[in-house]
Amino acid sequence: MAATAIKTRARELLRPAAKLAADLGIPPTAITIAGLVLSGLAGWSLGTGHFPAAGVLLAVAGVCDMIDGAAARAGNRTSAAGAFLDSTIDRYSEMFVLLGALHYYLARSPGSPEVASAVAAFLALAGSFLVSYVRARAEAVGEECEIGLAERPERLVVLIAGALLGSGVFRIALWILVVLSHFTAIQRIRHVLRGVRA
């Protein structure tokens, strides 16, 4: 699939950065936490209406997100604690970003489009969490679940593109995220049920 090829290419492009972080002895969890802080700032930028700034912050947060695991592998510092923290902190990042979006639309003396956008932020949070939750539950019952249209990188790209293009487009991006994430959650549920029953 094209999306997979792009992802592989992005990982290759970022490998030197991951290697550099490992060589400098930067702990992988510090990169994960930097991603969380940048996501928090992105959420704050969204909440205060600074959409292009939020797009840039999200892009840098996304880089942290993609290199923390690679840096851990390059420096032989992978651990169960690191993997656990990485994925848990990613969920907090999603929460802060979408909380900023919710706040932005609710703070504007809401009419119908703002209320709808706030509902979209809520549903996007639920969908994003479900995609990750289904995979975690699958792995807890011994199934792999690395499939699905909108994993975290795809979800981030939708948010980044929307934010860079301003609040009007961001609203559409939110709804795209709602559809993609819930579709992916259902894809994964079906995949896991087939796997478990086979």
Q: Site residues (CB under 8 A) for its own copies?
A: 79-81, 83-85, 87-88, 91-92, 95, 98-99, 102-103, 106-107, 110, 115, 118-119, 121-123, 125-126, 129-130, 132-134, 136-143, 189, 192-193, 196-197
- State which residue, 20 or 193, has the beta carbon closest to its own copies: 193
Task: Report in angstroms how near the CB of residue 2 gets to its own copies at its nearest.
Answer: 29
Nearer to its own copies, 87 or 167 (CB): 87
DSSP 149: S
- Cα 64 to Cα 61: distance, rounded to the nearest angstrom: 5
Least distance (Å) between residue 50 CB and its own copies: 20
Residue 140 makes CB contacts below 8 A (sequence gap 6+) with none
CB of 46 to its own copies, least distance (A): 14
For residue 122, give the nearest of 139, 144, 109, 105 by alpha carbon: 105
Closest CA to 153 of 46, 64, 44, 92: 64
Rounded-to-integer distance, Cα 153 and Cα 166, Å: 20
User: In terms of CB distance, is 23 or 144 closer to its own copies?
Assistant: 144
Q: CB of residue 6 vs its own copies: minimum separation in angstroms?
A: 27
